[in-house]
Amino acid sequence: MAKDSNNKNLLTLENIESGYGKVKVLHNVSLKIKEGQIVTIVGANGVGKSTTIKTILGLIKPSSGQIKFKNELINSLETYKIIAKGIGYSPEGREVFGNLNVYENLRIGAYTVSKDDFTKRLEEVYQLFPRLKERKNQEASSLSGGEQQMLAIARALMQDPDLLILDEPSLGLAPIIAEEIFNRLAEINQMGTTILLIEQNVNLALHLSDHAYVMEKGKFVLDEKASILAQNDYVKKTYMGIA
């Protein structure tokens, strides 16, 4: 895997403090993602993984620290401007627009994109997820959980982002479907998209990733190559249930 050695940093977080109102959730969080990598954050429920993502996206503002995307400071930008810089986001719990059909969901995913690029991109995304093409006129709320997850990923891919952020894409899915989604993520990465992944399915995630962070109580406690972390006794015991 040559891609994690010399490439440029795509996204960096430096000493981020963030939270909700007076409640501080993240303490001194720093993170680096190089172009072309798949980076995973693992951690138990409620430690601040989603909060990290929301801070990157500007949905909540960090109280201190710096966030740089493509070497540009994005701390204080509004969410829609951050997204337009080339970030695709698949939220925790999928959050597809249940009142819109599949096609319309994808149209919203391509909100920042011209009509021509949208049509082109739509075909590419349908190729990646043929199931969505079959159901393009179906309302998103009527899709199965796995299909909704695919839609959420497809929607995030519509603007051909440089960085794809996925918050627990395997949540609540049958293992077979989770695996299918992970295969798709590998393909997407092969085509050149950098991925930041949040996962509770540590086994699958570490297998897929180049690099991984372990978060506990709003801090990163481990930060290693994924292949090395997968052999780490503490990680095995705590997060993979292997004694």
Partner 1 sequence: MDLTYIFQQVLNALSLGSMLALLAVGYTMIYGVLGLINFAHGEVFMIGAFTAMYAITGLGFPLPIALILAIIASVLAGVLLERFCYRPVQGSGDITLFITSLAASIGIRSLFVMLFGSRSMQFPMPKYLQGIRFWGDILITDLNLIIFVFTVIITLILSFFIKNTKLGIAMRGVSYNKQTAEAMGINSTSIIVATFVIGSALAAVAGVAWGLQYGNVRPAMGYHPGISGFIAAVLGGIGNISGAAISGFLLGVGQVLFVAFLPSVYSGFRPLFVWIVLFIILFYKPTGLFRSNIKWE
Nearer to ligand ADP by Cβ, of 1 and 44: the residue is 44
The pattern of x and - marking residues 50 through 79 that bind ligand ADP according to CB under 6 A reads: xx----------------------------
The distance of closest approach from Cβ of residue 137 to partner 1 in the complex, given in angstroms and rounded to an integer, is: 12
Number of CB atoms found within 10 A of residue 63's CB: 12
The distance of closest approach from Cβ of residue 41 to ligand ADP in the complex, given in angstroms and rounded to an integer, is: 8
- The reply on whether position 172 binds ligand ADP by CB under 6 A is no
- The reply on whether position 40 binds ligand ADP by CB under 6 A is no
Residues binding ligand ADP: what is the number (CB under 6 A)?
Answer: 11
In the sheet that holds 163-167, the strands lie side by side as 87-90, 163-167, 194-199, 38-43, 211-216, 219-225
- The reply on whether position 84 binds partner 1 by CB under 8 A is yes
- The reply on whether position 235 binds ligand ADP by CB under 6 A is no
- Give Cβ neighbours of residue 107 (< 8 Å, ≥ 6 apart): 118, 158
In the sheet that holds 64-69, the strands lie side by side as 23-34, 9-20, 64-69, 72-73
Nearer to partner 1 by Cβ, of 84 and 128: the residue is 84
Nearer to Mg ion by Cβ, of 35 and 92: the residue is 92
- Give Cβ neighbours of residue 201 (< 8 Å, ≥ 6 apart): 170, 178
- The reply on whether position 109 binds partner 1 by CB under 8 A is yes
Residue with tokens 């909060």: 51
Picking from 67, 63, 77, the residue whose alpha carbon sits closest to that of residue 24 is 63
Residue 100 buriedness (CB in 10 A; 0-12 / 13-18 / 19+): middle
Cα three-residue angle 93-96-102, rounded to 5 degrees: 140
The pattern of x and - marking residues 121 through 160 that bind partner 1 according to CB under 8 A reads: ----------------------------------x---x-
- Which of 27, 75, 97, 207 contacts partner 1 by CB under 8 A? 97
The distance of closest approach from Cβ of residue 220 to ligand ADP in the complex, given in angstroms and rounded to an integer, is: 12
Name the site residues for ligand ADP (rule: CB under 6 A): 20, 23, 25, 43, 45-51
